[in-house]
Amino acid sequence: MKTQICIIDDEKHGRDYIALLLKKEFPDIQIGYEASSVEEAYIYLTKHSPDILFLDIQLNDGTAFDLLSKFKDISSQIIFVTAFENFAIQAIKNGATDYLLKPINKIDFIIAVNKALDNIKKTQPLPTNTNPLQDHKIILSTLQGFKVIGIADIVRCEADSSYTTFYLINKTKIMVSKTLHEFELMLPELHFFRIHHKHLINVDHLQEYIKGRGGQVVMSDGSVLDVSFRRKNDFLQKIGNVE
């Protein structure tokens, strides 16, 4: 089932821009409804419970807080989007997942949506036929700027001193000026494992394990990588626990 979104903003260009960012960066997310007022939003929310709610502070007939006060509890992840900095504390008290200032910064937007998706996955069991990394993305800084890639598209990461090279399912490579250890901490532990001081793999792309002192793994891109002896037992235990 697709993640459902509701956008509440009294300015059409504000709603359109959020919709555009979602279409470009999170194409698997579905926009269920858009509203420009407290009244419209209230009618919709009494009958529906979107997964993520993008909520402007100032609306045509009141404020976001007027809307939220009408409900005892809203289960949606709430991302406030506003031109006003001075409502952040009130937003936090009203259960904000994140607080974005207009004009929306693309990187901040991606981080906010990923945070909301993480929170959703913590509270809702995933269907067995769903890829849990499907909607998740990571931002990689390059010499030319940055690239936004899907975490599920990462086959493996390889260390080279203070640099890390990402190998993707489309056979492209991206080199980033950060250590492999930094990415080991950032990528979800359930699906990534450091098999060697040089190699961090996405176990979803593991195709074969070859026995040996440490052994070797064969990945979906055809690469054959060594497993260090001291990581072997943890690795085999990890594979046994992968869903």
Rounded Cα distance between 233 and 189, Å, is 16
Phi, psi (deg, nearest 5) at residue 214:
-110, -35
What's the pLDDT at 133? 59
Q: Where are the domains of the chain?
A: 4-123, 139-241
Residue 157 pairs with which residues in a beta bridge? 166, 200
Rounded Cα distance between 3 and 60, Å, is 27
Burial class from Cβ neighbours inside 10 Å (0-12, 13-18, 19+) for residue 161 reads exposed
What's the pLDDT at 135? 61
* Residue 120: its H or E element: helix 106-123
Mind listing the pLDDT tens digit of every residue in the chain (243 residues)?
Answer: 688 999 999 999 999 999 999 999 998 899 999 999 999 999 999 999 999 999 999 999 999 999 999 998 889 999 999 999 999 999 999 999 999 999 999 999 999 999 999 888 877 654 554 555 556 889 898 888 899 999 999 999 999 989 999 999 999 999 999 999 999 988 888 889 999 999 999 999 999 999 999 999 999 999 999 999 999 999 998 887 444
Q: What is the CATH number of domain 4-123?
A: 3.40.50.2300
Q: Under CATH, what is the fold of the domain 139-241? A: OB fold (Dihydrolipoamide Acetyltransferase, E2P) (2.40.50)
Phi, psi (deg, nearest 5) at residue 74:
-120, 125
What per-residue string of b and e applies to 181-218 under the rule 16 or more CB within 10 Å gives b? Answer: eebbeebeeebbbbbbeebbbbbbbbeebeeeeebbbe
